[in-house]
Amino acid sequence: MSYQAHFQVWRGDVDGGALQDFEIEVNEGEVVLDVIHRLAATQAGDLAVRWNCKAGKCGSCSAEINGLPRLMCMTRMSTFAATETVTVTPLRTFPVVKDLVTDVSFNYEKAKAIPAFQPRPKDPDGVYRMAQADVERSQEFRKCIECFLCQTVCHVIRDHEENKPAFAGPRYFIRLAELDMHPLDVNDRKSLAQEQAGLGYCNITKCCTEVCPEHIKITDNGIIPLKERVIDTKYDPLVWLGNKIRRR
Partner 1 sequence: MSESATTEVDRHEYDVLVMGAGGAGLRAAIAAHEEGARTAIICKSLLGKAHTVMAEGGIAAAMGNVYPDDNWQVHFRDTMRGGKMLNNWRMAQLHAQEAPARVWELEEWGALFDRTRDGLISQRDFGGHRYARLAHVGDRTGLEMIRTLQQRAVALGIDVFMECTITKLLVERTENGARVAGAFGYWRDTGRFIAFEAPAVVLATGGIGKSYKVTSNSWEYTGDGHALALEAGATLINMEFVQFHPTGMVWPPSVRGLLVTESVRGDGGVLRNSENRRFAFDYIPEFFKAETADSEDEADRWYDDKKGNRRPPELLPRDEVARAINAEVKAGRGSPHGGVFLDIASRRTPDYIRRRLPSMYHQFRELADVDITEEAMEVGPTCHYVMGGVEVDADTQMSVVPGLYAAGEVAGGMHGANRLGGNSLSDLLVFGRRAGLYAAQYAAGLSSAKPVVVDDQISAAGRAALAVFRAEGTENPYTLHQDLQQVMNDLVGIIRTAEELQRSLEEIEALKQRVGQLAVTGDRRFNPGWHLAMDLNNMLRVSECIAMAALERKESRGGHTRNDYPLADPEWGKINVVLREEDGKVTLYHQPLPPMPPELAALLEER
The separation between CA 247 and the C-alpha centre of its own chain, rounded to angstroms, equals 38
Give the residue with the Cβ less far from partner 1, 45 or 237. 45
- The residue among 45, 4, 46 whose CA lies nearest residue 25 is 4
Separation CA 169–CA 110 (nearest Å): 9
Give the residue with the Cβ less far from partner 1, 129 or 246. 129
Smallest gap from residue 12 Cβ to partner 1 (A): 11
- The residue among 182, 203, 199 whose CA lies nearest residue 191 is 199
Smallest gap from residue 182 Cβ to partner 1 (A): 7
| Pairing label, strands 3-13, 85-89 | parallel
CA atoms within 13 A on the CB side of 184: 15
Strands (E) located in 72-174:
85-89, 96-98, 101-102
Smallest gap from residue 246 Cβ to partner 1 (A): 27
Give the residue with the Cβ less far from partner 1, 81 or 116. 116
Smallest gap from residue 125 Cβ to partner 1 (A): 10
Q: Site residues (CB under 8 A) for partner 1?
A: 13, 27-31, 34, 40-42, 44-60, 74, 76, 97-99, 101, 103-104, 108, 111-112, 116-117, 119, 127-132, 135, 138-139, 142-146, 179, 182, 184-185
Give the residue with the Cβ less far from partner 1, 77 or 156. 77
